[in-house]
Structure 1
Amino acid sequence: MDDILSPEEMRRERDYKRLRTRNPICIHCGYHNHPAAMELAHIAPREFHDDGGVLCSNCHREVSDPEKDLPYAPQTQNPQIETIGRYLLALAEWFERIARTIAEFGAFLLALAERSPAIEDGVAT
């Protein structure tokens, strides 16, 4: 009887499956409080690939809004190269976003370290 999931547990399992992780964290802002508020964001439009990462709903809207003005179908005589180019540009934007988040977290940790007592062998000094 213990293996029967409640409706809430079933919703969470669907969230985890949709997000492709059991530990969803927004790669832009770090939000992680509730998986239902998270979305799988594609690096470039899904017509070109199926790769992506987790963003909270707010960050996903901010990131994907400019894409609404871009054509989804290839526009050149060489759609394969165009697709690769679009994907690489979108991937670079993701790396920039991740790098900013890492830099902000590093700065936060340094500020925290400056305010915290020194710890030697597990004992504050």
Structure 2
Amino acid sequence: MRKNVKDADDVFDGVLGSTGLTGTADATILAQRGRQTQEIVINITGRDVEEQRLSVKFDLTNRVPFHLLGDTETVHMSETRKEIIKYLEEHGATTPKDLASALGKNHSTTKNILWAMVKEGLISNENGKYKNR
């Protein structure tokens, strides 16, 4: 990996050498771990595989040192967003007012979070009702 890849839009741009290295492979897997952390982020892309970004916990104190935490985006998602997604999965499309009331949250804050989640592609909005993608 190259050292200065923090500003890159695509994590695979950080591979040292020509872009042909990743372009010719059927699949590319990058495993990255930051300093002083037990979390490894695995980025997967390729022709015959679904593009994924997974988080894995590495802990030598366990018998099996690798534990899949799940999709990186979901793992690092705020508790409020997790609650919203869970509610939408269980109850289907709903309005911001009904959702805020059901979760005991502020209506305005819930509406702003829903808007941001739509913008990020986590959920969708149809006729003022929000639902899972």
TM-score interval w.r.t. the shorter chain? under 0.3
Where relative contact order (Cα < 8 A, 6+ residues apart) is larger, the structure is 1
Q: Structure 1-normalised TM-score?
A: 0.26
- Which structure has greater helix proportion? 1
**Higher Rg:** 1
Q: Structure 2-normalised TM-score?
A: 0.25
